[in-house]
Amino acid sequence: MTKLHEEFVKYGANAKRWLRQCALLLPEIARQEIWRKKGFGSIYEYAAKLAGMSKSQVDTALWVVRAVEDKPELKKVVEEKGINCVKPIVAIATKETASFWAEKATEMSQHDLEIYAKEYKSDFLRGEKTEQIEMSLDPAVADQLRKMKGNRDWNTFMKELMDGQPKPEPAQTKQVPTRIKNTVRARTNGICSYPNCHKPAEELHHANRQALNPTHNPNHIHALCKSHHHLAHHSLIANEERQPHEWRLLAYPDKTNPKYQVDRLVQKYRSP
Ligand SMILES: [Zn+2]
């Protein structure tokens, strides 16, 4: 059984490698219309009959390879790791940021890179913004709320209100006590606490890293979806010791932070 599996893995790896080579040649084949000269109806027919590539594989190959043509750092990643590894970021990478993205594409899995690129777009590529929330309140409640707010601005007031919720005492136990788990999950109603994420929270994240600080402090434990938990352990969230509305995406991990060492170990444990 193991032998069969090993053989499959070996051939599979080879097949992937050769398909990668085919994909790299496609843009030039398209440019010179070699498919036409060889009697095929289209580049799709050419790639399907000669290499078993699907239409979407061809489209992706043409798009990605062309997009990295003037970005040598990313081109190298494509040549070494394949087209899919850079797919999540080709649309946002520029000549100036190509080496930055090449590094990220080398370090992260395709899925983690997708999540990072999404947060990058909302954190770095969009300006400051505010959001209007309309509420229908009982006039007495509205009045009370305005009095509580005083002359602070609404943002400051709402943040204080969120921070001021009653919390259970921190605990030193091995497992996170149920009362802390419940409080943490209830804070976002079982939804991931990463800003603007609405996926169900699947994991509890110790923002102070349990290995460095074995206390379970509900202020520093957050319910996250799997993707954002991964992002946290790529050491790419700044202000983690504060509440999620103050978290910011980092371009690079802070390697002087002791958390970084812990996260490297987490990565190593995670990779197959
Ligand atoms: Zn999330």
pLDDT per residue over 207-221, tens digit each?
999 888 888 999 899
pLDDT value for 201? 95
Most confident of 38-42, 168-172, 183-187, 243-247: 38-42
Amino acid in the structure at residue 221? I
- Mean pLDDT within 234-243: 91
Compute the distance between CA of residue 190 and CA of residue 186 in angstroms, rounded to an integer: 6
Q: Which two tokens stand for residue 265?
A: 């170990």
Tell how far the Cα of 256 is from the centroid of ligand 1, in angstroms. Answer: 26
Ligand 1 centroid – CA 198 distance (Å)? 7
Ligand 1 geometric centre to CA of 141 (Å): 32
Rounded to the nearest whole angstrom, what is the distance from the C-alpha of residue 115 to the centroid of ligand 1? Answer: 9
- pTM, two decimals, is 0.70
pLDDT tens track for 65-95: 999 999 999 999 998 888 889 999 999 999 9
**pLDDT at 272 exceeding the cut of 70:** no
Write down the pLDDT at residue 51: 93
CB count within 10 Å of CB 78 equals 25
State residue 187's pLDDT score: 87
Q: Is the torsion defined by CA of 206, 208, 210, 216 positive or negative?
A: negative
At residue 200 the predicted structure's pLDDT band, cuts being 50, 70 and 90, is very high
